[in-house]
Amino acid sequence: MLIGSIEAGGTKFVCAVGDEKGLVLDKTSFSTEEPDKTLAKVESFFKEHPIEALGVGTFGPVDLDKTSNSYGTILKTPKIKWQNYPFLQKLKNTFHVPVAMDTDVNTACLGEYYYGAAKEANSSLYITVGTGIGAGLVQNGQVFQGKNHSEMGHIFVQKHPDDDFKGSCPSHGACIEGLASGPAIEKRYGKKGYLLAENPGVWEMEAFYLAQAIMNYFVMLSPEKIILGGGVMKQEKLYQMVQDEFMNLLNGYLAVDNVKNLIVKPELKDEQGVIGAIMLGVKALKREI
Amino acid sequence: MLIGSIEAGGTKFVCAVGDEKGLVLDKTSFSTEEPDKTLAKVESFFKEHPIEALGVGTFGPVDLDKTSNSYGTILKTPKIKWQNYPFLQKLKNTFHVPVAMDTDVNTACLGEYYYGAAKEANSSLYITVGTGIGAGLVQNGQVFQGKNHSEMGHIFVQKHPDDDFKGSCPSHGACIEGLASGPAIEKRYGKKGYLLAENPGVWEMEAFYLAQAIMNYFVMLSPEKIILGGGVMKQEKLYQMVQDEFMNLLNGYLAVDNVKNLIVKPELKDEQGVIGAIMLGVKALKREI
C-alpha cells in the first residue's frame, strides 16, 4: 500500500510517499508559489509514485465542513492567490484516488497520536508554538472537528501584570497567538526569541501565557497527552516552566498524576505532519474519512 | 417506553419519568440530603413507575472515564458526604435497568439539542451562567468527552481594565466562573445581580467576560448553536450585549452569518436537564452509551 502525503505550508510544501505504518519512503519539498505552479510540482513528484490514496495537511483557514459547497477550499488568507482556491477538488481531479484533507496542526496531531508521543494514549492534543499558535485534538483515532476546524490559537487569556504589549494578532490583538507566538515575542522585545535565550523574564512570561492556554485546553478537552511543539519550544527550558506554571494554575482542581507525562515533547522531530498526512491517506483509502 | 430521569443538583434533586420523545409524564423534586437518604427518596418515586432505563445528569466533578475503577463516582466536592460516593453503581444496583450518567450541563445540552433551541443543528454548546459556570457540547447526538468530562467554567480570560476584583473561584480565583458567575457578581458588588439590574456598568462587564468565554469556546469547538442559559441570563438585555461584544472580539476572523441565530436563549425553560436525562436513558436502553 503506497500512500501519498502533502504537508502544505504557507511557505513550503512537503510531498512524501509512505506505507500504512507511517514509514516515509521518499520525500521532497519546495517553496509555496501560486496554486497552479505549486500543484504542477506536486503532480510531478507523485507521477513517479503509484499512490493509492492521498492525505493532505494544509495551512488555513480552510473549509472542512463536509456539507458545504466549498468543502476543501482555502478561505480568507493573506496569501491572496490561494484565497478561494478549491484545493481538495483540484487534487481529486489530478490524482483520481481517495483524498483526505485536514489542517496542518490536526494532521501533525494525528502523526504524533499514531507513531509519536501519544502512541499509548486514547486522546491527544498537539500544540504548535511558532509563526502562529495552533492546536489539534485526536480522540480514538478521530480528529476533533465542529462545524469547521478549530482555531485554538485565537483564545483569550489573562494578560501578565508586567506586559503592556498590545499583541500581534491582526484580528484579535492579544489573543494567545498575539501574545506568545514567535512573531509576538519578536515584536514585544524587538529581537527574535532565540536571541533572547539568556533573558529569563522573556521565558517566564512565555510560560505564563502557554500554561494558561494549556489550562484552557485541558479543562475544556480533557486530553490524556498534551504535546507541545513548534519553533518557540526549541527553548527546552520552557517545558519545565510551563509544566510548573500549569500545575500552579490548576491548583489541584483536577487530578494530574504526573505533569511530566501529561505535557510532553513531540517525538517525530519535524515529521509529524508528513506522517500524519500519510495516516489521513490511509483513512481515506479505508473510507474512514 | 417509560424512561426515568434524574437531575441531581447540589441543592435539589428532580426525578421524572417520560417517553422517548422527551415528553415528561410525571415529576417530583426534593432537597439534596446525604446520599442514602436522597437515594431512598429517588427509589420511592420510581417504585410507582415501571421504568425501562434511567438517565442521570449529576453535579460534579464525577468520574466519567469508562475505563476507570471509580466510573460514576462523585469526586472531590464541598458536599463531603457525597465525595467518593459510587452514585452510578448504587443506581444500577437499585433499579436493575440500564443507567447512563453525565454531568448536569452536558445533560441539559442534550435536552436542548434534541427538543430545544438546537433541534435543527448538528452541534450545540449549552452554557449555564448561574451559581457556577459550565458548558457542554453535543455533536451529532453525542456528548463530547475527553478522558473525563469538561470543566469549561474554569478557563482563564482577559481581565476587564476596570475590574480589580480578584475573582471568587476557590481554586482559580479569576477564572471565568470566578469572574462572571452569580456569586462572583454578588461578591464584586456586595449585592445580588438582580438588585443591580439598573446599573449598566455591571452588565457591560458581565457581557465583556461572557463574550470572551464564548469566543474561546467558539474558536475551539466550532458549534452551530451556542445556547446561553442559567440564572444570570434572566437579565435579558445581556443577550444583545454579549452578541455585540462577541462579534467585536471575533472581528471577522471567522464567518458568522447572523449572531442572533448563533448565540441564543434556551427553549426548554428549566426542563432541559430533565428532558436531557430522559434522552440519556433512551440512549442507555438502545445501548448507545
Band of pLDDT at residue B78, cut at 50, 70 and 90: confident
Q: What is the radius of gyration, based on Cα positions, of chain A?
A: 19
Q: Domain range for residue B11?
A: 3-103+274-285
Q: Are residues A122 and A257 in the same domain?
A: yes
A235 Cβ contact list (under 8 Å, min separation 6): A193, A194, A197, A203, A206
SS3 for A198? Answer: coil
Query: Strands of B53-58's sheet, edge to edge?
Result: B24-31, B12-18, B3-8, B53-58, B99-103
Higher per-residue confidence, B103 vs A289: B103
Band of pLDDT at residue B141, cut at 50, 70 and 90: very high
Answer yes or no: do B146 and A221 touch at CB < 8 A.
Answer: yes
The verdict on residue B238 lying in a domain is yes
Q: Are residues A79 and A183 in the same domain?
A: no
Which of chain B's residues have a Cβ under 8 Å away from the Cβ of A212? 156
Buried b (16+ CB within 10 A) or exposed e, A213-240: bbbbbbbbbbbbbbbbbbebbebeebbe
Half-sphere exposure of A72 (CA within 13 A, CB side): 14
Interchain contact A122–B (C-beta under 8 A): yes
Burial class (CB in 10 A: 0-12, 13-18, 19+), A81: middle
Which of B123, B146, B172 lies nearest to residue A222, judging by beta carbons? B146
The verdict on residue A111 lying in a domain is no
Residues within 8 A of A (CB atoms), B 172-211 only: 172, 174
Q: Are residues B45 and B94 in the same domain?
A: yes
The verdict on residue A108 lying in a domain is no
The verdict on residue A156 lying in a domain is yes
φ/ψ region of A203 (left if φ > 0, alpha if ψ in -120 to 50, else beta) reads alpha
Q: Are residues B75 and B172 in the same domain?
A: no
Q: Count CB pairs under 8 A between chains A and B.
A: 111
Question: What pLDDT does A77 receive?
Answer: 87
Q: Is it the case that residue B77 has pLDDT exceeding 90? A: no
Q: Are residues B93 and B152 in the same domain?
A: no
- From residue A19, give the alpha-carbon distance in Å to each of A6, A51, A55, A269, B217: 14, 10, 12, 19, 37
Residue whose C-alpha is closest to residue B217's, from B150, B132, B141: B150
Q: Are residues A176 and A279 in the same domain?
A: no
For B273, the enclosing helix (H) or strand (E) is helix B272-285
B5 is written with which cell numbers? 430521569
Answer yes or no: do A253 and B156 touch at CB < 8 A.
Answer: no
The verdict on residue B58 lying in a domain is yes
Answer yes or no: do A146 and B221 touch at CB < 8 A.
Answer: yes
CA of A209: which chain B residue's CA is closest?
Answer: B156
What's the rounded Cα separation, in Å, for the pair B209 and A200?
32
CA–chain centroid gap for A206, Å, is 19
CA of B140: which chain A residue's CA is closest?
Answer: A146
For A24, the enclosing helix (H) or strand (E) is strand A24-31
B193-196 contact pairs (CB < 8 A, 24+): B193/B231, B193/B232, B193/B235, B194/B234, B194/B235
Residues within 8 A of A (CB atoms), B 95-114 only: none
Interchain contact A78–B (C-beta under 8 A): no
Please write the tens of the pLDDT for every residue from B53-68. 999 999 999 999 999 9
Q: Are residues A170 and A195 in the same domain?
A: yes
Q: Is it the case that residue B19 has pLDDT exceeding 90? A: yes
Q: Are residues B92 and B201 in the same domain?
A: no
Whether the complex's predicted ipTM is more than 0.95 is answered with yes
The verdict on residue A39 lying in a domain is yes
Please write the tens of the pLDDT for every residue from B167-201. 999 999 999 999 999 999 999 999 999 999 999 99
Q: Which residues of chain A have pLDDT under 50?
A: none
Beta strands in chain B (DSSP E): 3-8, 12-18, 24-31, 53-58, 99-103, 123-129, 133-139, 142-143, 225-229, 263-264
Interchain contact A156–B (C-beta under 8 A): yes
Q: Are residues B86 and B128 in the same domain?
A: no
Answer yes or no: do A254 and B151 touch at CB < 8 A.
Answer: yes
Question: What pLDDT does B188 receive?
Answer: 98
Which of chain B's residues have a Cβ under 8 Å away from the Cβ of A140? none
Check which CATH number belongs to the domain holding B67 and give it. Answer: 3.30.420.40
Q: Are residues A253 and A132 in the same domain?
A: yes
- pTM for the structure as a whole: 0.97
The minimum CA-CA distance between A4 and chain B, rounded to whole Å, is: 29
Sign of CA dihedral A263, A268, A274, A275: negative
What's the rounded Cα separation, in Å, for the pair A103 and B179?
34
For the segment B79-92, the average pLDDT, to the nearest whole number, is 96
Q: Are residues A69 and A183 in the same domain?
A: no
Helix residue ranges, H only, chain A: 35-47, 87-95, 104-115, 176-180, 182-189, 200-221, 237-250, 259-262, 272-285
Q: How far apart are the first and last CA of chain A?
A: 17
One-letter amino acid for residue B156 of the chain? F
Residue whose C-alpha is closest to residue B27's, from B40, B44, B15, B18: B15
Q: Apex CA B221: angle with CA B219 and CA B222, to 5°?
A: 70
Q: Give how many domains chain B has, as a whole number.
A: 2
Band of pLDDT at residue B289, cut at 50, 70 and 90: confident
Q: Are residues B29 and B59 in the same domain?
A: yes
The verdict on residue A112 lying in a domain is no
Helix residue ranges, H only, B139-258: 176-180, 182-189, 200-221, 237-250
Half-sphere exposure of A211 (CA within 13 A, CB side): 23
The verdict on residue A161 lying in a domain is yes
